[in-house]
Amino acid sequence: MTTDDGQPLGRIGRKGWRSLWKATYEIFDGQDQKEFHVSEDNGWVKVADGFLSEIPLLGMFSGYFFNPSYSVYDNHGTKVAQIKNKNPSGAVASR
Task: Give the residue numbers spanning the domain of 30.
Answer: 10-94
Residue 5 lies in a domain: no
Spatial separation of the C-alpha atoms in residues 86 and 72, rounded to whole Å: 17
Using one digit for the tens of pLDDT, what is the confidence trace for 66-75?
677 889 999 9
pLDDT-derived band at 48, boundaries 50, 70, 90? confident
Residue 23 lies in a domain: yes
Residue 64 lies in a domain: yes
Q: Sheet of 24-29: strands edge to edge?
A: 10-14, 24-29, 34-40, 69-74, 79-87, 90-94
Give the amino acid at 93.
A
Residue 52 lies in a domain: yes
Residue 80 lies in a domain: yes
22: phi then psi, degrees, rounded to nearest 5: -130, 140
For the chain, the domain total comes to 1
The pTM of the full predicted model, rounded to 2 decimals, is: 0.65
